[in-house]
Amino acid sequence: MNSKYYNQIGDYYDKDAVDFEHRYWKNDTLQRIRQSFREHVRQYKFTRVLEIGFGPGFDLVHFAQTFPEASIRGLDISAEMVRITNEKILDFNLSNAISKQGSVEDIESQFPGERYDMIYVFFGALNTVDDLSNSMAELERLLLPGGNLVLTFVNKWYVGGILIELLKGRFRSAFDRLKKVWGGYSSSKFLASKCYSSKEVKLSTTLKCKEQRGYSIFFPAWYYGGIHRRLPNKIRLFLWFIDSKISRTKLGTLGEYMLYDFQKKS
Ligand SMILES: C[S@@+](CC[C@H](N)C(=O)[O-])C[C@H]1O[C@@H](n2cnc3c(N)ncnc32)[C@H](O)[C@@H]1O
């Protein structure tokens, strides 16, 4: 495990935690996408859940409250995100939820012997793992037969984003995601990450991909606030609708974000 790298990621998100929730609640695109991620998870029956990279605990708390009979475990690399989430677990008296600090490599030591029928990652923690194939192998090992891995990734081939950046004259940033190391969303703070294509994600595991879908193919990505503000709501809704129709096709793999659902054989 590359602990220097994980310390850097942890430090980045410790700082990011300060106004993470505030930024999120101002962004209805992120809220829409999260809703879709949650609906995807909710179609399954599960009792043993693991979340990697829970941030300030939006989904960990949501699933713990909605499914009180399920045990919900979470690991996040940022001490500050863990502190915020632990506070919520105490405030809401969620006896079925436990959040701890760590990355995929630490799951077994933090939750010894536990196995899961649902493991999910929402919004990016797998774009900042040391070695994606090793992480995927570990998640597969910890998954119970018949269980699902619902994983979401910042996508490499966001073609709409390339075009928008080119039109804005930002030639360098247009192709940032194609580099070996992507610096993250912020132009002022560097987060050493990696964007993956749909092919790369599928090649990183022996599990079969049951379903995949893209987000923000025509609907502008969550960080294009200016474009969102200028577009009439009707057009935004129309673009979201078009995206939902093509999200599971080849075109869907050209979106800003991707969801993959891998299932382990029963
Ligand atoms: C963009 S935030 C998303 C947080 C949350 N899942 C959400 O949907 O709002 C990414 C989170 O993943 C955590 N993270 C990043 N890399 C990680 C890793 N390798 N292992 C565990 N957590 C990680 C960060 O600390 C941060 O809390």
Q: Report the separation in Å between the CA atom of 232 and the middle of ligand 1, taken as the mean of its atom positions.
A: 32
pLDDT range class, residue 124, cuts 50, 70, 90: confident
Report the pLDDT averaged over residues 9-15.
Answer: 98
33 lines ligand 1 (CB under 6 A): no
CA distance 67 to 48: 10
Mean predicted lDDT score pLDDT of the chain:
97
Indicate the SS3 state at residue 215.
strand
Pick the closest to residue 49 from 123, 119, 110 (CA basis): 119
Compute how many other C-beta atoms are within 10 angstroms of the C-beta atom of residue 3.
11
Question: Which atom of ligand 1 lies nearest, measured to the CA of 12?
Answer: 25
Q: H helices within 175-224, ranges in order? A: 198-203
pLDDT range class, residue 25, cuts 50, 70, 90: very high
**CATH topology for 3-263?**
Rossmann fold (3.40.50)
β-strands 48-52, 71-76 pairing: parallel
User: Which pair of structure tokens corresponds to residue 196?
Assistant: 């993956």
Phi, psi for residue 106 in degrees, rounded to 5: -100, 0
Give the domain ranges of the chain.
Answer: 3-263
Q: Report the separation in Å between the CA atom of 265 and the middle of ligand 1, taken as the mean of its atom positions.
A: 28
20 lines ligand 1 (CB under 6 A): no
3-state secondary structure 70-130: CEEEEEECCHHHHHHHHHHHHHCCCCCEEEEECCHHHHHHHCCCCCEEEEEECCCHHHHCC
30 lines ligand 1 (CB under 6 A): no
CB 124, CB 133: distance < 8 Å: no
Report which DSSP code applies to 254. Answer: G
Please state, for a pLDDT cut of 90, what percent of the chain lies above it. 98
Cα maximum dimension of the chain: 53
122 lines ligand 1 (CB under 6 A): yes
Q: What's the pLDDT tens digit per position in 193-226?
A: 999 999 999 999 999 999 999 999 999 999 999 9
Report the pLDDT averaged over residues 171-184.
Answer: 95
CA distance 97 to 61: 8
Q: Report the separation in Å between the CA atom of 123 and the middle of ligand 1, taken as the mean of its atom positions.
A: 7
CA distance 36 to 12: 27
Angle at 158 between CA 231 and CA 204, to 5 degrees: 145
| Position 1 pLDDT exceeds 80 | no
128 lines ligand 1 (CB under 6 A): yes
User: Which pair of structure tokens corresponds to residue 181?
Assistant: 């190391």
Report the pLDDT averaged over residues 148-170.
Answer: 98
* Residue-level pLDDT at 65: 98
| Position 2 pLDDT exceeds 80 | no
Q: What's the pLDDT tens digit per position in 100-111?
A: 999 999 999 999
| Position 122 pLDDT exceeds 80 | yes
Please state, for a pLDDT cut of 70, what percent of the chain lies above it. 100
